[in-house]
Amino acid sequence: MRVLLNEDRSCEIMRNLLAMALVSCLCLSVASAGGDSGVNRVIDVEDTPIESITTPTISTDGTDFTITVTLSDEAGSNGTTVEWTVQQCINSGVCNPPERISMTGSNESWSSTIVPVDTHSYINYDVVLIYPNNESEKFPEAGFGEGGKVWSDCWVSGEDSGGEGCSAEESAGFLPAPTAFLTLVLTLSAALVVKREN
C-alpha cells in the first residue's frame, strides 16, 4: 500500500513538472514573437510631437547606453517633458521588470543613459511625453510590442544567437530558459523512474 502511494505521488510530481515545462515553453514563444532575432526596431515618430529618437545601434554589457529624444518646436516650447520606459532582457530568456526613467534636458532636446546588465540580449524601450497639463502619452501606444529594440553585441534568443562581440563558444554555452527547464524536468523524471524501479 505504501509503495503504491509513493508511485502515485511520483507520477503526480512528474505530471506537474511536465506541465510547468510546457507552460514555460509556450510563454517564451509568445514573448519572442515580437520580431526577428538580432534585428533592431525603431519607433515610428511620423505625425507625433517627436522629431527624432537616437540610440546606439548596438548595446554592450557595462557600457553606457544613451537615448536622445528631440521634440518638435511646438512641444519643446510648451513645457513638455520626456521620460522613457526601458526593459533589459538577458540571454537566459528572462526579462527584467520595466523601469520608467526621467530624461534630462529642456526645450527640444532630452536624453538619458543606462548601463546594460551583464549577458543582456536586448533592450526594449518606449518614450513617454508629459504635457503641461500633466497628461502623458506613450509612443508607441502599444508599448514594447511595437516599441524600440536594440540588440546587444552578444545575444541569445531561443535557438538563435549572434553579435559581433560574441564568440562561438559563448553563443554555444547559453541554454535558453525553456531548454534549460526542460532539461531539468527530464533529469528529475528520469531520477524518479529509477527510484521507483529500485
Domain positions in the chain are 2-34+175-197, 50-173
* Per-residue model confidence (pLDDT) at position 30: 36
Q: Which pLDDT belongs to residue 165? A: 74
Strand partners, 86: 99, 125
State which amino acid sits at residue 48: T
pLDDT < 70 stretches in the chain: 1-35, 167-198
Q: What is the DSSP letter of 95?
A: B
The answer to whether residues 128 and 102 touch, using CB atoms and an 8 Å cutoff, is: no
Query: What pLDDT is attached to residue 176?
Result: 45
CA distance 60 to 136: 31
45 touches 53 (CB < 8 A): yes
The C-alpha cell at 66 is: 544613451
> Tens digit of pLDDT for each residue in 48-102?
999 999 999 999 999 999 999 999 999 999 999 999 999 999 999 899 999 999 9
State residue 94's pLDDT score: 93
For residues 33 and 153, give the distance between their C-alpha atoms in angstroms, rounded to a whole number.
Answer: 21
pLDDT reported for residue 95: 95
pLDDT at 195: 52
pLDDT value of position 36: 84
| Homologous superfamily in CATH for domain 50-173 | Immunoglobulins (2.60.40.10)
What percent of the chain is modeled with pLDDT above 90? 57
DSSP assignments along 146-183, one per residue: TSEEEEBSSEEETTEEE-TT--HHHHHH---HHHHHHH
Give the predicted TM-score (pTM) of the model. 0.69
